[in-house]
């Protein structure tokens, strides 16, 4: 149990800016097995976003409340996944071959593809979430937020399990997580990733999960074709895209 707690807190420290107990320490073994708790971190981050949204909605219009909830999740993660999405937009948008794509993704500067991509992605998520509140009501919106954050991180974990990590430089921030996961580790991630969906109406959840599965498959095929695998930025991009796909799937199931 102590070792599993260490793995969980290692994931919390790596993927968020939330504090962890000092006794956890910092070892390579912890990082090697932290990805199994990536979706559980999503439940936590989604809960923060849902809590802020619901509290803000008591005094503010739902559009503002959703925006504040989104801001809370970004603050909690330090824009970790948004940054990966932005770098992926620039890399795949501006690079012609694998070397170019990886070089551009490594550049800390923000290009036009990143600026447009992040802006459109955040606007789409905001529109989808406000639409979910209008169609289903606040309790459903809170559950959708938690489920969306959990499932989208499961999608990124699936890439770690099936694809190869393509960067060979030791300076890469995601290098410590670039380990092949064991099947039981993927099972743990799947348990946490899908658990919040049990709180949603079954048909709605299935449509949303189908959208996530399709987005994950298309992203995996695209990454394989362009660079032969994934990078840490690709994981962030998949998390953002599949979270958005989950909310859009829920909206489609209602209509």
Model confidence pLDDT, tens digit, residues 14-52 = 999 999 887 777 777 777 788 999 999 999 999 999 999
Model confidence pLDDT, tens digit, residues 69-103 = 999 999 999 999 999 999 999 999 999 999 999 99
The secondary structure of the chain as a DSSP string is -HHHHHHHHHHHHHH------GGG---HHHHHTGGGGHHHHHHHHHHHHHHHHHHHHTTS-HHHHHHHHHHHHHHHHTTHHHHHHHHHHHHHHH-SSHHHHHHHHH--S--HHHHHHHHHHHHHHHHHHHHHHHHH-HHHHHHHHHHHHHHHHHHHHHHHHHS-B----TT-TTGGG-SPPPHHHHHHHHHHHHGGGGGS-HHHHHHHHHHHHHHHHHHHHHHHHHHSSB-HHHHHHHHHHHHHHHHHHHHHHH-
Residue 120 pLDDT exceeds 80: yes
Domain limits of the chain?
A: 2-254
Considering the entire predicted model, what is its pTM? 0.94
Model pLDDT, residue 173 = 58
Model confidence pLDDT, tens digit, residues 219-238 = 999 999 999 999 999 999 99
Looking at per-residue pLDDT, the higher value among 29 and 111 belongs to: 111
Predicted confidence band of residue 135 (pLDDT cuts 50, 70, 90):
low
Model pLDDT, residue 241 = 98
């Amino acid at each position: 149990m102590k070792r599993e707690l260490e793995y969980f807190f290692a994931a919390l420290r790596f993927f968020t800016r939330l504090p962890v107990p000092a006794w956890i320490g910092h070892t390579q073994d912890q990082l090697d097995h932290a990805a199994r708790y990536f979706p559980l971190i999503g439940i936590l981050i989604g809960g923060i976003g849902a809590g802020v949204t619901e509290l803000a909605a008591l005094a503010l219009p739902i559009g503002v409340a959703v925006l504040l909830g989104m801001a809370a999740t970004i603050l909690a993660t330090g824009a970790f996944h948004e940054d990966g999405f932005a770098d992926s937009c620039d890399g795949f948008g501006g690079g012609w071959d694998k070397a170019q794509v990886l070089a551009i993704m490594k550049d800390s500067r923000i290009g036009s593809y990143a600026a447009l991509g992040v802006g459109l992605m955040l606007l789409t998520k905001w529109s989808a979430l406000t639409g979910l509140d209008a169609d289903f009501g606040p309790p459903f919106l809170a559950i959708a937020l938690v489920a969306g954050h959990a499932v989208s991180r499961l999608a990124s974990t699936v890439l770690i399990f099936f694809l190869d990590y393509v960067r060979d430089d030791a300076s890469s921030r995601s290098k410590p997580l670039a380990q092949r996961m064991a099947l039981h580790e993927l099972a743990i991630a799947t348990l946490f990733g899908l658990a919040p969906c049990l709180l949603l109406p079954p048909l709605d959840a299935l449509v949303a999960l189908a959208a996530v599965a399709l987005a994950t498959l298309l992203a995996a095929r695209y990454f394989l074709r362009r660079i032969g695998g994934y990078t840490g930025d690709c994981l962030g991009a998949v998390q953002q895209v599949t979270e958005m796909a989950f909310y859009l799937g829920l909206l489609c199931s209602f209509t």
